[in-house]
Structure 1
C-alpha cells in the first residue's frame, strides 16, 4: 500500500510496541474518536498466518540483505521478511508460493528472486509485485541477485542471466554457459557470478559476460564483495568447504577454509572473516589463514549445530540465519572467539509431534520431552519435566479439563492435574499443564495415541497395545488382534477406535474394553483419528481420509493429495487436515477437500483450535496460527500526546504519539475526516496488532511551521 499523503510526516515505532506497517499519515489533530467494527467472517486468509514459534519466524532464510535502515530476508513458500528500525522481521505480502532464493536492493527498491523465474519488487517492503521478464515465462530458478547503483542482475539455472535498470522489468543477457549459476555480487565496478562445477563469470556492465578460471570443480554457492574502509575483495564459497578469493574477479586464489561440509555464505567485519554452512560456522581473525570452529571449538557460548544459509557482519558482531528461521547473533569476545546467542532467545526448535486444547490451554509435545503450553496460541512457554525423562520423545498428548496425559517412547507417561500444587515451601501454582509428574511404567512399548472423556482414558502404541483407565493413573491392558503400531485412538458417542500401521483400524464399545478389527481395504498407515462433530475422521498415508458416524462403517474420501496426512481438527463449521510438506486441507462437508496455502513447506504433525483460532505444529518447533474468525471487539485509541523538538538546524518538528489497544492479531484501519457530516472517511493506514499485549504505538512527525487542520478519527476492524 502506498502512502496516502505526500506531506512532510513520518511514522516511527515505539521501541516497546513497534509498528508493523509504516504509512504516512496526513497532518491531523485528534478532536474526536469513533469506533466501528465489521461483522466477523470466517476465512483462512493466507496472508494472516503468523508464527508463534520459532521466532521471529520459521521459514528457511536463504539470503539476507542488511543495512542500518532496512533489512530483508528471502525464504521458502514465497516468504519475504522486512526489518526496519523497530527490529521486527515483518512478513510481506508477496502473492506467490515460489521458493525465494536471494534478495538485494536497487537504490531504495527491494528485489527478491526465486523459483520458476520469479522476480519480485517492492518500494515499501509491505506489498510485492511480480516483475515481467523478456523472454517471458522462463522456468529457470533465479538463485542469486545483486545490484550496482544503476543495474540489478539475477542469475540462475542453465546459465540464465537477467538484468534490469529499474527492478520492475527484466531482460535476458547471454552468459555463454549452461552451468547452473548460484550467486552474483557487485563490487569494484564489476559483477561476478558463480555456479556449479567451479564456474565463475565476470562483467563490467551486467550484459556482456566472460568466463574466468576458478581452479576448482566444486559447486560454488555464493559470492560476496567484502571490504572495510572503501576497498574490498570478492569471496566465493561452495561445496565441500570450497573457499576462493579475488581482488579483481579475474584471478582467483584457493583458500583453506578448514571445513569439509558445504558452505553457503561468507561475511566480514572488524573481527575477521566468517564462513557459514551445513553444520558450519568458522571465523578467521587473520584473513583466512587460521580458523576457529564456532560450533565445536568454543568452551562456552558456542553456536548450535545447524544448517546456516546466510550471514552478515557489522562492526564486531555477526547475524547468521538458516534453516527454519534460526537466527544467531555473535559478538566478538577476543581475537578468535565469539559469544553466540539465539535471537530471540526463547524459541525452541524441538520437533512437535502432537497438540491438544483442553480447558482453554494449548499443549504441544515433542522431542527431548518438550512440553509447550499457551493460553492464547501466541505466547508459548516450555514446561519442566522430571529429570529422568528429559530424553524421552513425547509422541502424543490429550486429556480432559482436569487431567492431561503426555505419552512417548518406552512407555513413559506424564500427567498434569488441575488444582493448586505446592512447588516450594511457601508457593503454590495452578498445576494444570504446568506441573508434570511421571507415572510408574505399565509398559515398555512406545505409546502415541491418547484419548479421554470423563471417566475413560485410552492410550495406544507399539505392538498393537491398548490400555484403558478410569482416572488416568491406574491402567489395564486390553487384548487386540494386531501387533501393528497403533498411533492414534479416539472416543466417540457410542464407540472407540484405534488406528495405525498397514491400514489397521480397531473398534471397541464405549467402554474401550473389547477390541475387534474393522477391514479397511488399505495398507496405508492410518496415522490419526478424532471424533469431531459426531463423526470419526481418520487420516494418514498417501492422502488417506476416512469418515464414519459409528466406527464400524467407513467412507473413503478423496483428499486430492498423495502426501501423508497427520491430524484433523474442527473450527467454525470446517474440518482442517494437516500434513507433510506444509499441507493443509479444508472441508465443510467431509466430502470435498480444498488445499490451503501456508507460509511454510515444513511438515506439520498436529492441528488444534479454539475461539476461532487455528493452530498447527510440527517439524523443528514450528507453530503457526491463524485467527480465522476475527475478533469483532473495537480497537481503541488509548492515548494521544504531542511534543515539540528542534534540531541542530533550528527546524522545529511536532511529534505525535497514538496508542491503540485491542485484541492480538486484529487488523484495523485508522481513518479520519474533517467534517462529521461527510461520509468520505479517509483511510490513513492499515495496522496490525501483532504484539501479544494487543497494543501498538504509532509515532508521527510533522513540520511545526504550519498549524494542521482539525480532524475526527475512528478505527474500523477488518474481517
Structure 2
C-alpha cells in the first residue's frame, strides 16, 4: 500500500513575455508548474484518448502525457475550473464551471466555444459519436446536453420547478451511457418533496430513460463486469459512503461501506477487475481524511491497493501501460500492474506554509512553517536553480514558524524572523540563533544598508529591535498596546504599519529606527491586521484589509487613495513590494492574482492563477519568486 508523504511544496514557473517595466499593463502570464510536477492545482478528471493521457483541473488546467511521467501544459486562456474532458475520435471537448466549453482538434491548441446557458458543467462523455454533457447549478438543478461538435447543443433532460436533478457523473458501459445523480421532486399527493437517486440511460444521447431508487439519495458512479453492475452512493441514515450491486439495474443491494469518512467517487472495470477511488465525504467534518484506491475481482469483495493522506482522488483511468489516478493538489499515482501504485514525478517533502522568500548569493531561499507530525517547526529550503532544493540546518529546539527573510548586503547575511526567534546565516544552509533579547513575536525585518530593524510585539505592545552591526540589538517596546506587522525605509525615514488591539490600523514613524512615534491617519475605520508597507518612487504605500491603500512622501502625512475598481473583489493584499519603477504584489479573493502599479493608484490585476493562498512575491531583477499556502513556490521570468 502506498502511503502519501506529507509533501506539499509547490514550484511553478511562468514566463512573462514583456519586460518588467511593462507590468502595469493588464497581463495574464502563462504558468508552468515544476513541483509538484506537472501541477499543484486540483486534477478533476483523467482520461486516455488518442494515444495520450489527458488531465484537466482547476484554474483552466489542461495537461497531456504519453507515459504519465512527462507532461505538457496547454494554453486555455481561462481561469475557470475544468471538470471533465472527452474525445469522440475527431474532436476534444473540455468542460467546466461558468458554462466553460473548450474545443481542440489536436489536443494541443484549445479555443473557447460559446454556450447559451450559464450552468456549471460537471462531466462530459461520448456516445454514438455525440458529446453528452451534464450540469449541476444550484439551486436550479442540472441538465443533460448533447452536441456533435461542441458548437451547437441540444437539451435532452432539463430540471423543472417540480423535478430538480443533481447529476454527478456520466458512465459509458458498452453501447449505453448512464447519467448518475439524485433528484428532488414534488409529491403532489402527499404535498411534500422527496429525494431519490437516479440513473438516466441512453443509447443515442438524446433520449433517456430515467429510473429512481430509494436506497440512496445520490449515486456517484457506475460500472459493470460480465454479470454485475456496481454503483456508489451514500446511506441516507448513516451518511456513510456505500457500494451497491445489481444484476439488471432494477434493484440494488448494499455490498460494502466506503472506508472511513469517504465516498466512492469513480468506478471503472478493465476487463478483469474493478477499480474505485475515494474522496472525502460531503458529510465529513474531519480536517484530514485518508483516501484510497480500491480493487475487486468480483465487485463484491474489495481491498485497498493505495492510500493517501490529506488529499483526495478525483478520477482514475486505464491507459496503454497501466492505470493513472489523480486528485487534489496535483496528486498523480500510476500503476503498471494495478496493484503497486507510485508517484511518477518528484516533489519536496513539506506539509505547511511558506511565508517569505528572497534571492541572494545566487540562491533562492524560502522560509515558513512545517506542521507535520513533529509539531509546528520553522523550515528553510535553499536552491541554486529552483529545481533541486536543500533543506537548511536550523538550531535545535526552535518551535513555531518563520515569517520574514531579508538579506543584508553590508554584512553578507541572511536574517529570518518569526514567532519568538531571530536566526541568521551566511550561506542559507547553516543557521544560528541571533543572541539578543528576543521580542515575543516577530513579523518583519528590513535592512537599509547601515541598520536592520525587526518588528513585532512583546505581549500586547508594539516592539522594535534595531542593530547597526547585526550582533548587538536594542529593543524598544511602546507604551500603547498594539502589534507591528510590516516595516520599510525610504527618504531617510523608517515607517512601520500594524494595528491596535481592537484591530484598527496604526502607523509609526522614526528617523533613527529606535525612537518611534505614531502618526495621524485620514480614516479611523481602516483595519490593520494584514497591513503591508512598501517604499518606492519617493512614496510610502500601505495596504490594509479590504485592499484599501494609503500613500505618503514623509511618513507623517497620509492620503487615502480611492479604491480601484479592480481591487473591489479582492479583499486582501498579503504582499506588497517595489522594484524598478513599479509597485507589485499579490491580491487574494477566491484565488491568487498578481497586481502592479506605477503610482499606487491605478492597478493592473491579472487573471486568477491559482486556487492556493499565495502569501508573498519578490522580484530580484530577473525573476519573481512567490510562496504561500501548502508550501507553494512560484518562479517567473
Q: Is the 8 A contact 1:367 1:391 kept in 2?
A: no
Assess, with a 3 A threshold, how the Cα gap between structure 1 residues 218 and 500 changes in structure 2: closer, same or farther. Answer: farther
Query: 1:288: how far off?
Result: 5.3
Q: Is the 8 A contact 2:131 2:147 kept in 1?
A: yes
Confirm or deny that 1:155 pairs with 2:134. yes
- Supply the distance in 1 between the matched residues of 2:18 and 2:463 (Cα, whole angstroms): 51
Assess, with a 3 A threshold, how the Cα gap between structure 1 residues 71 and 404 changes in structure 2: closer, same or farther. Answer: same
Identify the residue that residue 357 of structure 1 maps to in structure 2.
Answer: 359
Assess, with a 3 A threshold, how the Cα gap between structure 1 residues 528 and 224 changes in structure 2: closer, same or farther. Answer: farther
SS in 1 for 2:546: helix
CA deviations 1:136-181 (Å, max 9, x no partner) are: 2x11111111113512111012221111123343222225642221
Identify the residue that residue 281 of structure 1 maps to in structure 2.
Answer: 292
Identify the residue that residue 583 of structure 1 maps to in structure 2.
Answer: 593
Q: Is the 8 A contact 2:369 2:402 kept in 1?
A: yes
Out of 158, 163, 175, the residue aligned to residue 189 of structure 1 is: 175
Q: Is the 8 A contact 1:531 1:537 kept in 2?
A: yes
SS in 2 for 1:324: helix
Query: 1:456: how far off?
Result: 1.6
Confirm or deny that 1:466 pairs with 2:464. yes
Confirm or deny that 1:611 pairs with 2:625. no
Q: Is the 8 A contact 1:175 1:208 kept in 2?
A: no
Identify the residue that residue 423 of structure 2 maps to in structure 1.
Answer: 414
Query: 1:285: how far off?
Result: 4.3
- Supply the distance in 2 between the matched residues of 1:39 and 1:357 (Cα, whole angstroms): 19
Assess, with a 3 A threshold, how the Cα gap between structure 1 residues 539 and 242 changes in structure 2: closer, same or farther. Answer: farther
Identify the residue that residue 654 of structure 1 maps to in structure 2.
Answer: none
Query: 1:391: how far off?
Result: 5.5
Out of 314, 319, 326, the residue aligned to residue 321 of structure 1 is: 326
- Aligned pairs for 1:553-572 (under 5 A) are 553-557=557-561, 558-559=563-564, 560-561=567-568, 562-572=570-580
Identify the residue that residue 516 of structure 1 maps to in structure 2.
Answer: 517
- Supply the distance in 2 between the matched residues of 1:366 and 1:380 (Cα, whole angstroms): 18
Identify the residue that residue 164 of structure 1 maps to in structure 2.
Answer: 147
- Supply the distance in 2 between the matched residues of 1:544 and 1:40 (Cα, whole angstroms): 24
Identify the residue that residue 87 of structure 2 maps to in structure 1.
Answer: 105
- Aligned pairs for 1:467-482 (under 5 A) are 467-482=465-480
Confirm or deny that 1:601 pairs with 2:599. no
Q: Is the 8 A contact 1:571 1:614 kept in 2?
A: no
Identify the residue that residue 451 of structure 1 maps to in structure 2.
Answer: 446
Query: 1:277: how far off?
Result: 1.0
- Supply the distance in 2 between the matched residues of 1:438 and 1:240 (Cα, whole angstroms): 50
SS in 1 for 2:165: coil
Point out the more displaced range, 483-492 or 241-250.
Answer: 241-250
- Supply the distance in 2 between the matched residues of 1:262 and 1:439 (Cα, whole angstroms): 50
- Supply the distance in 2 between the matched residues of 1:506 and 1:475 (Cα, whole angstroms): 22
- Supply the distance in 2 between the matched residues of 1:348 and 1:313 (Cα, whole angstroms): 30
Confirm or deny that 1:213 pairs with 2:212. yes
Query: 1:482: how far off?
Result: 4.1
Query: 1:265: how far off?
Result: 3.2
Assess, with a 3 A threshold, how the Cα gap between structure 1 residues 68 and 255 changes in structure 2: closer, same or farther. Answer: farther
Identify the residue that residue 119 of structure 2 maps to in structure 1.
Answer: 140
Identify the residue that residue 255 of structure 1 maps to in structure 2.
Answer: 255
CA deviations 1:54-106 (Å, max 9, x no partner) are: 32212111111135821222222222222235843322122222221112222
Give the superposed CA RMSD. Answer: 3.3
- Aligned pairs for 1:155-554 (under 5 A) are 155-157=134-136, 158-175=141-158, 177-196=163-182, 198-220=197-219, 222-223=220-221, 225=223, 233=229, 235-236=231-232, 240-246=240-246, 249=249, 251-256=251-256, 257-267=258-268, 273-278=275-280, 279=289, 280-287=291-298, 289=300, 291-292=302-303, 303-313=308-318, 318-329=323-334, 338=340, 340-341=342-343, 343-346=345-348, 348=350, 350-368=352-370, 369-376=378-385, 378-379=386-387, 381-386=389-394, 388=396, 392-401=400-409, 402-409=412-419, 411-417=420-426, 431=427, 433-440=428-435, 442-443=437-438, 445-462=440-457, 463=460, 464-501=462-499, 502-520=503-521, 521=523, 522-554=526-558
SS in 2 for 1:620: helix
Assess, with a 3 A threshold, how the Cα gap between structure 1 residues 54 and 70 changes in structure 2: closer, same or farther. Answer: same
Q: Is the 8 A contact 1:215 1:252 kept in 2?
A: no
Larger RCO (alpha carbons 8 Å, 6+ apart): 1
- Supply the distance in 2 between the matched residues of 1:215 and 1:95 (Cα, whole angstroms): 43
Assess, with a 3 A threshold, how the Cα gap between structure 1 residues 571 and 614 changes in structure 2: closer, same or farther. Answer: farther
Assess, with a 3 A threshold, how the Cα gap between structure 1 residues 386 and 572 changes in structure 2: closer, same or farther. Answer: closer
SS in 2 for 1:624: strand
SS in 2 for 1:597: coil
Point out the more displaced range, 487-496 or 570-579.
Answer: 570-579
Gaps of 5+ in 1: 1-36, 296-301, 418-430, 628-719
- Supply the distance in 1 between the matched residues of 2:614 and 2:144 (Cα, whole angstroms): 36
- Supply the distance in 2 between the matched residues of 1:460 and 1:192 (Cα, whole angstroms): 61
Q: Is the 8 A contact 1:215 1:254 kept in 2?
A: no
Q: Is the 8 A contact 1:303 1:340 kept in 2?
A: no
Gaps of 5+ in 2: 1-16, 183-195, 281-288, 371-377
Q: Is the 8 A contact 1:79 1:599 kept in 2?
A: no
Out of 41, 52, 60, the residue aligned to residue 70 of structure 1 is: 52
- Supply the distance in 2 between the matched residues of 1:153 and 1:472 (Cα, whole angstroms): 66
Q: Is the 8 A contact 1:106 1:167 kept in 2?
A: no
Assess, with a 3 A threshold, how the Cα gap between structure 1 residues 259 and 219 changes in structure 2: closer, same or farther. Answer: farther
SS in 2 for 1:351: strand
- Supply the distance in 1 between the matched residues of 2:268 and 2:494 (Cα, whole angstroms): 58
Point out the more displaced range, 366-375 or 604-613.
Answer: 366-375
- Supply the distance in 1 between the matched residues of 2:304 and 2:446 (Cα, whole angstroms): 47
Q: Is the 8 A contact 2:277 2:313 kept in 1?
A: no
Out of 31, 38, 62, the residue aligned to residue 80 of structure 1 is: 62
Assess, with a 3 A threshold, how the Cα gap between structure 1 residues 55 and 83 changes in structure 2: closer, same or farther. Answer: same
SS in 2 for 1:373: strand
- Count of residues in Structure 1 that have an aligned counterpart in Structure 2: 561
Query: 1:322: how far off?
Result: 2.3
